[in-house]
A and B are shown apart, each in its own frame.
Chain A
Amino acid sequence: MEGIKEVVFLSGKGGAGKTSILGGIYSLMNGKKAVVDCDVDAANLFLILGGQVKEEKPFYGSKKAEIRRDKCKECGLCKDICSFGAINEFLMVDPILCEGCGGCFVFCPHSAVSLEEKRAGTIYIGETKRGDLFLYAELFPGEENSGKLVQALREEARKRAKEMGFSLILMDGSPGIGCPVISSVAGVDLMVALCEPQSSSIHDLLRLLELSEHFRIKTALVINKSDVNPWLSEKLKRIAEEKGLPLLGEIPYDPLITEAQREGKTIVEYSRDSKSSKALQRVYERFSKILEELR
Chain B
Amino acid sequence: MRIAFASGKGGTGKTTLAVNMAYLFSLSGFKVEFLDLDVEEPDGHIFLKPQIESIVSVKVFIPLFDKERCTFCQKCVQACSFHAIFMLGKDILLFQELCHSCKLCLRICEEKAIKEGEREVGVVRIGKVDSSLSFIEGRLNVREPRPMPVIEAVKSHCKGGDVQIIDAPPGTACPFVRSVYDSDFVVLVTEPTPFGLHDLEKCVSFLKSIKRPFGLVINKERGKFPPLEEYISQNQILVLGRIQEDLRIAKALSEGKILLNEFPEYRAHLEEIFSNLKRAIHGRN
Contacts and interface: CB of A to CB of B under 8 A. Distances in A.
Asked if chains A and B come from one complex, the reply is yes
Nearest to A177: B40
B147 A232 contact: no
Contacts of B160: none
Interface in B117-170: 140, 142-147, 169-170
Contact of A175 (B10, B79, B250): B10
Contact of A178 (B9, B15, B144, B222): B144
A291 to B, nearest CB: 26
B12 interface: yes
A33 B203 CA distance: 32
Residue of B38, B82, B251, B254 with highest tally of chain A CB at under 10 A: B254
Contacts of B199: 42, 44
A251 to B, nearest CB: 14
Contact of A255 (B103, B176, B209, B222): B222
Nearest to A143: B173
Given A144-B173, A178-B145, A179-B145, A12 B41 contact: yes
Interface of A: 12-16, 19, 39-44, 47-48, 62-63, 81, 83-84, 96, 99-103, 106-107, 139, 141-144, 146-147, 174-182, 196-201, 203-204, 207, 210-211, 214, 225, 228-229, 232, 253, 255, 258, 261-262, 264
Contact of B195 (A12, A142, A261): A261
Contact of A142 (B143, B169, B174, B222): B174
Interface in B167-198: 169-177, 181, 193-195, 198
A262 B225 contact: yes
Residue of B15, B46, B210, B256 with highest tally of chain A CB at under 10 A: B46
A204 B43 contact: yes
Contact of B170 (A14, A47, A84, A101): A14
B122 to A, nearest CB: 10
Interface of B: 8-12, 15, 38, 40-41, 43, 46, 61, 79, 81-82, 100-104, 107-108, 140, 142-147, 169-177, 181, 193-195, 198-199, 202-203, 205-206, 209-210, 222, 225, 245, 247, 250-251, 253-256
Nearest to B45: A203
Chain B interface, DSSP helix/strand/loop, else mixed: loop
B143 A182 contact: yes
Given A42-B170, A102-B81, A200-B46, A16 B198 contact: no
A101 B82 contact: yes
Nearest to B11: A15
B137 to A, nearest CB: 12
A30 B76 CA distance: 51
A228 B247 contact: yes
A13 B173 contact: no
A147 B61 CA distance: 21
Identify the 6 closest CB pairs spanning chains A and B, nearest first.
A14-B10, A15-B11, A101-B102, A176-B40, A141-B206, A179-B145
